[in-house]
Amino acid sequence: MEDTPPIQVMVIPVTQFQQNCSLIWDPQSMRGTVIDPGGDVARIQEAIGKHDVNVENIVLTHGHIDHVGGAADLAAALGVPVEGPHEADKPLIDRVADQAVQFDVSDVKPVTPDRWMVEGDKVEIAGRSFDVLHCPGHSPGHLVFFDEELRFAISGDVLFAGSIGRTDLPGGDHDTLIRSIQEKMLPLGDDVSFIPGHGQASTIGQERETNPFLT
């Protein structure tokens, strides 16, 4: 018998911000989830079609335009619900048109999530149950998703390889962000790998040891 990995992850950089939209699926059941479709919806749909993934939901880490800008269009095209972020990001999501002007992005439609999530919730990603962690600081309603068994997390703009999320945008707060990382992300364990919202993947251990914002 061949070993089939429990999940496949395809990172699709979208928008001028090179945001890591992730298509995650179970290669056996082909059940899948799109995380943070910030834009370039046609390219995301192309990836879904190429791998023949049955996308069941769209999951959002937070309300910034590079993460949510394509959510309404993709949800409509696929006929799937949008889950997340935490309701504290509702003001950001409600102002997505203003964000579009501020960052000179076109073709953005407002999105209304079907479900807000809070700390301790579970969310289905590729048919697996992920823990929902509320990690404010970069934005007030930012969520991180964690699969304990796979030792795998989706960190959005909380923690990056070698950096952390910016805190100069509305609702951002540096001390709150550091606390979220120290109290929620680092305890997940050094062996946990994660995909951030921008740039390369990393591990908690790598960041604990070398990230200049944490050492």
Contact set with Zn ion (CB under 5 A): 64, 66, 157, 197
Kindly state the smallest distance separating residue 36's Cβ from Zn ion, in Å. Answer: 8
Kindly state the smallest distance separating residue 67's Cβ from Zn ion, in Å. Answer: 6
Q: Which is nearer to Zn ion, 66 or 73 (CB)?
A: 66
Q: Which is nearer to Zn ion, 32 or 197 (CB)?
A: 197
Kindly state the smallest distance separating residue 196's Cβ from Zn ion, in Å. Answer: 9
Kindly state the smallest distance separating residue 6's Cβ from Zn ion, in Å. Answer: 27
Q: Which is nearer to Zn ion, 50 or 166 (CB)?
A: 166
* Residues in a beta bridge with 132: 145
Max Cα distance, the chain (Å): 53
Radius of gyration over alpha carbons of the chain, in Å? Answer: 16
Kindly state the smallest distance separating residue 95's Cβ from Zn ion, in Å. Answer: 13
Give me the torsion for CA of 203, 207, 208, 209, rounded to 10°.
110
Is the bond preceding residue 170 a cis peptide, omega within 30 degrees? no
Residue whose token pair is 């799109």 = 34
Q: Which is nearer to Zn ion, 66 or 121 (CB)?
A: 66
Q: Which is nearer to Zn ion, 189 or 199 (CB)?
A: 199
Show Cβ contacts of residue 212 under 8 Å, excluding neighbours closer than 6 positions. Answer: 162, 163
Pairing of strands 122-125, 128-134: antiparallel
* Residues in a beta bridge with 129: 124
Q: Indicate the residue whose CB is closest to Zn ion.
A: 64
